[in-house]
Amino acid sequence: MAKTVKMADIAKEVGVSVVTVSKALTGQKGVSEAMRSRIIKLADEMGYVQPAAASKSEDKGRNIGIIIHDKHFTKYNSFYMQMYQLLSSELGSQGDFAMLEIITHDMEKDLIAPKVIKEKKVQALILQGEFSSEYCDYIKGIMGDLPVLYLDFADESGRDVSVISDSFYGSYYMTNYLFEHGHKDIAFVGSPLITTSITDRYLGYVKSMMEHGVPVRPDWQIEDRDKTTGIIFEPDKLPLPLELPTAFVCNCDLTAGVLIRRLEKEGYSIPEDFSVVGYDNYIYPGACDVEITTYEVDIPVMVQNAVGYMNALLKGESVKTGMHIVTGNLVEKSSVKALS
């Protein structure tokens, strides 16, 4: 069976971002005509097919609200902005409008509704990133019968549609990768229960450790963020155990970058002294001087699926509720050294 060509495949061939490819293929501004022609020509040659949901929508000009927690917009953390830009582009390509609103910690804690909902400006809502279950229930209550979809985190009730990456097995594969390179003393860097994705990634790490017969040490489960705000620590605030492992599984590339900078401040080098793996395959340029081996999240497919499900919900069509998991792939870079 022939492999489905994705925008990410075209972006890799051209050497540009997925957002640039999306803009070029959907006729949006921000791309030179020379680059647009090159991308369109390559897309035709590779056999790229525009998703049906994005190109044949019957209802145009709808306002789709997108809310993101402000904890996802801290220094160096633009993974969610990249996802939002692609989501906005995908919606725009079918004639709809993305209306972004940032939700603060106080808004979430005090159950304050986004303006786009209070002012009845949207026909549907996408919650991108993690929110508390209390806030999600509150939002669903005031949205009434209007469609609500979760992107990159799961609806705990299972009654709504969630599009997520394969956090559990992604982290499991990354931990197995370290075992394959001779490591047994492996720590996990992340704060379980802060988000469902971090919890799933921790459990994937635990599964690999158990299958290899290696006990999980409590002191090697390293917290990476403030438990109240959810904001990732700066390097000098990241705690390190007294006895260090040989390798670290990090819940995201941003945390991996923070860890690497902390270890470098202590006089260590990566991967000569320690091996580090991450998750996402995205880190802000300049945030880390080491290319991190990681599990790549397939953002384009997640976005395309989310838009497709939202279109179906808006049309009143039946969509399977619960989690819709999008798999990724391991990307080898230069942050892991095999033990002899």
Tens digit of pLDDT for each residue in 170-215? Answer: 999 999 999 999 999 999 999 999 889 999 999 999 999 999 999 9
> Beta partners for 248?
187, 276
Higher pLDDT, 6 or 2: 6
Higher pLDDT, 75 or 14: 14
Tell me: the pLDDT tens digits for 270-324? 999 999 999 999 887 778 899 999 999 999 999 999 999 999 999 999 899 999 9
Rounded CA separation 123/110 (Å):
24
pTM over 0.95: no
Distances, alpha carbon 23 to alpha carbons 26, 36, 90, 100, 281, in Å:
5, 8, 9, 18, 21
Rounded CA separation 317/255 (Å):
40
Distances, alpha carbon 233 to alpha carbons 158, 205, 223, 238, 261, in Å:
32, 21, 9, 6, 12
